[in-house]
Structure 1
Amino acid sequence: MKSYSARHICELLKGELVGDTTVAITAPEQIERAKEGQVTFIGNKKYEKLWAGSKASVAVVNNDIAIPPGENRAFIKVSNADLAMSQVLELFAGDPPVFDEDIHPNATVHPTATLGAGVRIGAGCYVGPGVQLGDGVTLYANVTVLDNCTIGKFTTLWPGAVVRENCHIGAGCILHPNATIGADGFGFRPCPERGLAKIPQIGNVILGNAVEIGANSCVDRGKFSSTILGDGCKIDNLVQIGHNSVLGRFCIMAGASGLAGSVTLGDGVIIGGSASIKDHSTIGAGAVIGAGSGVTGDVPAGKTYLGYPALEARTTLKQWATLKRLTEGKV
């Protein structure tokens, strides 16, 4: 069991220790469930009231915390408690699953594939012709990487992930279980002879560096050219990214959201859970799309849009307020 003193954690976070405790810290936990010997955090003053009922020995808190920690308990004051807790979680994180041997005997690796130093490939994996795996790449069990793909250094693919032919994954990426990169884009047209004619999808997918794709999420290949995700994009579980979409750097898409084909996101765009974006729309850099919203056109940079159909948040909130008054008979 890992164990640290409050002072050790404070030094790691470069924070200010208020109070102190002789209790060794063995795990992090949320404030309502924390027990003695655990560290929690208070990321907003409105949660100060929970501290009195918590059994935690230490809390990482924002600098504006106003309450005392109490006897044999301590606060570690930092400028951003949410961010600091990510370091605490790293401190207590367990080791990743173990490989008894670098290349499992039940893996299939084509003789023309190129493997960098320290590559690890688990049971049931398939690595196709012409694939290039950079140094330190890890493929857990039952991963499929098809022909002529490249995967950059220290990228990890968790079980069941699929990278289809001719796609390119950057360095330091994470593909969570059953993520699919490079499936066909959704392209069909009415056809008198066949009902619906399938449009060939002959492009690929390019993921930049440090991209993370959540479990069961799909990034479709381009009809032609590429579907592109810029460096640092973070995609949640159950997200759909349509063919020929282009995401800038450090975009975030929350669970069950989706982009139709040929959507463009500028740098730093945030898409809330279950939001949907119409094809050929452009969302400007730094824009925020609220959860559950339906975007039917372009969104200017830096704006927050909300609702269905999505409008600038202030307009949507006014509409909701007016509707509420109408239903209550106050208008």
Structure 2
Amino acid sequence: MLLDIAVLKEIFSVDCVYVGNKSLTFNGINTVYDAVEGQIAWIKPNVKNNAEILSNTNASCIICNEETFNLGNSEKQRLYVISKDPKLEYFKVLKHIRNSTNKKPLSAIHETAIVDKNCIIGKNVTIGAYSVIGSCTIGDNTQIGEFVKIFDSVTIGANVLIRENVSIGGEGFGFYTHSDGTVEHIPHIGSVKIGNNVQIFPFANIDRGTLGSTEIGNGSVIDHYVHVGHNSKIGESTIVCANSVLAGGSKINNRCFIGVNTLLKEKCEIGSDSITGIGAVVVKNIPDSEVWVGNPAKFLKKNEK
């Protein structure tokens, strides 16, 4: 695939500025350290040795901010794309290349997938091999990977990406201990509601509500091996990192970042714009815009955005 300045202008933000050799074409993307002639790279702002990085890289196209560009560009023939957010523009190129080289047929349901006759499927939905889909609703442009299990009473929004080996809507972990010590499972007859533009990575598990629903808000990301217990709520644009556990009835609000291996006690709540560190064990509510770390998790500082 060859990219020229005309294609880049379609990909990048309208306020980007282009300086240098505008006749070049580019055949790939790489890190600024490993890039060779013909490739695109980006430079992270505010790094003290950026002048050296800029001088030594062999990339033919550099995405950087104005401050980095003003450090002094080398005599090498290249194109500079000056942006307020170079990392974002770099990701846009990655997305363009992936989408151009990994096109999948629209509305493709693999022949080995099992889909309930009462399932409501939107437009341009793909369902991967050996997935089992119950009586649920799937929104437009949603992609479901291989070996996914989606139970009844699940509603999935539009533009959702569910990767392989995910389970959504199964029975929750709730039990009643009788006076004689015997343990009986409590039936879970609720639902799961997943918003638009959600991404769910492999081996995540989302239980349905006992009564009511387990919910994931628009634009949130659920990483590998995350467990979302029954009746838990995750707000919008929240990232939950790998191996984290949300016990039943817990709640994470909007725009949170939940660090790897975070454990959230049942019915605890994390306020909007808050962060938990790696391995945090949350046993009480966290207010908005705070950073908590440790076991048990304790306040570290305010999250100054």
- What is the TM-score with the length of structure 2 in the denominator? 0.89
Equivalent-residue separation in structure 2 for 1:130 and 1:194 (angstroms): 41
Return the letter of the residue paired with 1:201: H
- Which runs of structure 2 are paired with 1:198-277 in the superposition (5 Å)? 198-277=185-264
**Residue 39 in 1 paired to residue 8 in 2?**
no
Return the letter of the residue paired with 2:261: S
- Which runs of structure 2 are paired with 1:70-219 in the superposition (5 Å)? 70=74, 71-93=76-98, 94-96=100-102, 98-99=104-105, 119-146=107-134, 148-191=135-178, 195-219=182-206
Contact residue 61 and residue 76 of structure 1 kept, 8 A: yes
Residue 160 of structure 1 deviates from its aligned partner by 1.3
- Summarize deviations over 1:46-77 as a string: whole Å, max 9, x none: 16243333321112112321423322123211
Contact residue 24 and residue 79 of structure 2 kept, 8 A: no
Identity %: 26
Equivalent-residue separation in structure 2 for 1:263 and 1:241 (angstroms): 9
**Residue 313 in 1 paired to residue 297 in 2?**
no
Residue 211 of structure 1 deviates from its aligned partner by 1.2
Equivalent-residue separation in structure 2 for 1:249 and 1:130 (angstroms): 29
Residue 98 of structure 1 deviates from its aligned partner by 4.5
Residue 21 of structure 1 deviates from its aligned partner by 6.6
Residue 83 of structure 1 deviates from its aligned partner by 1.3
Task: Specify the alignment match of 2:72 in structure 1.
Answer: 68
Equivalent-residue separation in structure 2 for 1:282 and 1:50 (angstroms): 44
Return the letter of the residue paired with 2:166: A
Equivalent-residue separation in structure 1 for 2:242 and 2:110 (angstroms): 28
Equivalent-residue separation in structure 2 for 1:50 and 1:241 (angstroms): 43
Moved more, 206-215 or 47-56: 47-56
Equivalent-residue separation in structure 2 for 1:42 and 1:84 (angstroms): 11
Equivalent-residue separation in structure 1 for 2:11 and 2:160 (angstroms): 26
Contact residue 131 and residue 149 of structure 1 kept, 8 A: yes
Equivalent-residue separation in structure 2 for 1:59 and 1:7 (angstroms): 16
Moved more, 87-96 or 258-267: 87-96
- Which runs of structure 2 are paired with 1:22-61 in the superposition (5 Å)? 23-46=24-47, 48=50, 49-61=52-64
Equivalent-residue separation in structure 1 for 2:36 and 2:191 (angstroms): 50
Task: Specify the alignment match of 1:303 in structure 2.
Answer: 290
Structure 2 CA distance for partners of 1:120 and 1:240, relative to 1, 3 Å:
same
Contact residue 216 and residue 238 of structure 1 kept, 8 A: yes
After the TM superposition, list the runs of 4 or more consecutive aligned residues in structure 1 that deviate by more than 6 angstroms.
none
Equivalent-residue separation in structure 1 for 2:37 and 2:154 (angstroms): 49
Task: Specify the alignment match of 1:111 in structure 2.
Answer: none
**1:181 counterpart SS class:** strand
Residue 301 of structure 1 deviates from its aligned partner by 0.8
Unaligned residue ranges in structure 2 (runs of 5+):
none
Structure 2 CA distance for partners of 1:69 and 1:238, relative to 1, 3 Å:
farther
- Summarize deviations over 1:158-202 as a string: whole Å, max 9, x none: 111111111111111110111111122122343465743222222
Contact residue 290 and residue 301 of structure 2 kept, 8 A: no
Residue 96 of structure 1 deviates from its aligned partner by 3.3
**Residue 5 in 1 paired to residue 10 in 2?**
no
Residue 88 of structure 1 deviates from its aligned partner by 1.2
Equivalent-residue separation in structure 1 for 2:10 and 2:167 (angstroms): 41
Residue 20 of structure 1 deviates from its aligned partner by 2.7
Task: Specify the alignment match of 1:110 in structure 2.
Answer: none
Contact residue 165 and residue 202 of structure 2 kept, 8 A: yes
Return the letter of the residue paired with 2:177: P
**1:84 counterpart SS class:** helix
Contact residue 4 and residue 26 of structure 2 kept, 8 A: yes
Return the letter of the residue paired with 2:230: H
Alignment length (residue pairs) = 295
Tell me the C-alpha RMSD between the 2 structures: 2.1
Moved more, 190-199 or 230-239: 190-199
Equivalent-residue separation in structure 2 for 1:237 and 1:63 (angstroms): 37
